[in-house]
Amino acid sequence: MSSKTKRILIVDDDEGILEALKETVSMMGYEVETRTKGAGMIEFIVEYKPDVIILDLLLAGESGEEIVGKLKKDEKTKAIPVVLFSAFPDADKLAQKCGADGFLAKPFNVIDLLDTIERYVSV
C-alpha cells in the first residue's frame, strides 16, 4: 500500500454488521467510514473520496442498485470501485447489471472481504 491510508466506505442498514466490518477492516490498516442509509450518499462520497465502496444491495430509502447507477454516471465518482453485497438470490446478476465492480454473497468470509478490498485498492 502507498503511504496514504486507503479509505473504505461500508454501507449496510444493519449496525451490528457495520460495527464488526469496521473493526475488522480497520485492523488491516484502512481508514473506514460506515453509513446505514443511502440518503445523501452521493454527496458524502464526493466529499469523503473513498478508495473502495462496499455497499449492501438492499437499503432503506435508496437501494444499493440505485446508488451504483448514480455513482457510475457521475464524473466525480465513476472511477471509485463499488462492491455490492447481499444475501438476496440472484443479487450477483443485479450487481453486474447495475455496473458494480464486484459482488460478495452474504454471509461472506472475512478473508474474502479483505481480499476483495485489497484487489480494488491496488488498482
Residue by residue, pLDDT tens for the chain (123 residues) are 445 899 999 999 999 999 999 999 999 999 999 999 877 888 999 999 999 999 999 887 788 999 999 999 999 999 999 999 999 889 999 999 999 999 999 888 899 999 999 999 976
Strands 31-35 and 52-56: unpaired
Q: The pTM is what?
A: 0.93
Q: Is residue 24 part of a domain?
A: yes
Residue 122 CB-density burial (10 A; 0-12 exposed, 13-18 middle, 19+ buried)? exposed
In a domain, 1, yes or no: no
The answer to whether residue 28 is domain-embedded is yes
Q: Whole domain around residue 67: which residue ranges? A: 7-121
What is the domain count for the chain? 1
At 109, which CATH number?
A: 3.40.50.2300
Is residue 2 in some structural domain?
Answer: no
